[in-house]
Amino acid sequence: MTLILGHRGARAYAPMNTMPAFELAQAQGADGIELDVWLSSDGIPVILHDEHVDATTNGRGSIREMTLAQIKALDAGSSFAPEFAETPIPTLEEVFDHFRNSLLINVEIKAADNSDAAQSDGIEQAAADLILRYALTHNVIISSFSLVTLKRFHAILPQVELGFLYATYDALGDPFIEKCRYLHPYHQLVTPEYAAEHARWPINVWTVNEPKRALELAAMGVHGIITDVPDVIRAALA
């Protein structure tokens, strides 16, 4: 069975990376959710796609330069629709606490602008600490576009499965790929030949919103489909 993961929740219907979007993805039949994590200035993993809060909240500036209290004061819902006014940015801990027994949780570590920097900001350790606290080592995937980030996380908590995110055909040259449980390619990279060539990895593709494409990918044997519209893809694969 092909798994369905809500991309930043059910982001077509609710403000991305918020609890309403995650809850709606679950209600629409998603097997899991995908979300993006940054570290606040006081060391708390928080959920947002961009480093800067400008695009999806009523604030301005880098989330990495804000305290949790400042982040929690932001409205992350009004820019999507008035009925979501005053929806806060959630913490990773809040998501773990709410969904730990019911959904697979794909945590994309965003970290710093330069995610290949030699010095970590501590996001890998902070995420690992929460996974251990909530006993989620077998219910979380850690993903990133940065192999440096994945290497750091693996050194801290090797029992948690990794997913390497990529959008080009030439992204798989590093030997560390062999330590990743999953490949997370952009869906347009995946053809029947590509899926067969990489069959030793379960493949989770992003971001698929068209039923026809979802059916094509399921026929190729992909493991999971990350989508903005879990209800549409669930109906297509039924």
How far apart (Å, rounded) are the C-alpha atoms in residues 191 and 25? 27
DSSP 41-98: TTS-EEE-SSSBSTTTSS--SBGGGS-HHHHHTS-SSTTT-GGGTTPPPPBHHHHHHH
Q: Is 100 helix (H, G, I), strand (E, B) or coil?
A: coil
Active site residue 154: no
Q: Is 223 labeled as catalytic in the residue annotation?
A: no
Length of the chain: 238
Please pick, among 7, 184, 187, 223, the residue that the annotation labels catalytic.
7
Other beta carbons within 10 angstroms of residue 157's beta carbon come to: 17
Listed residue (155, 38, 173, 176) closest to 163, CA to CA: 176
Identify the residue whose tokens are 């979501």: 84
Residue closest to 6 by CA, chosen among 208, 216, 215: 208
Mind telling me the catalytic residues?
7, 49
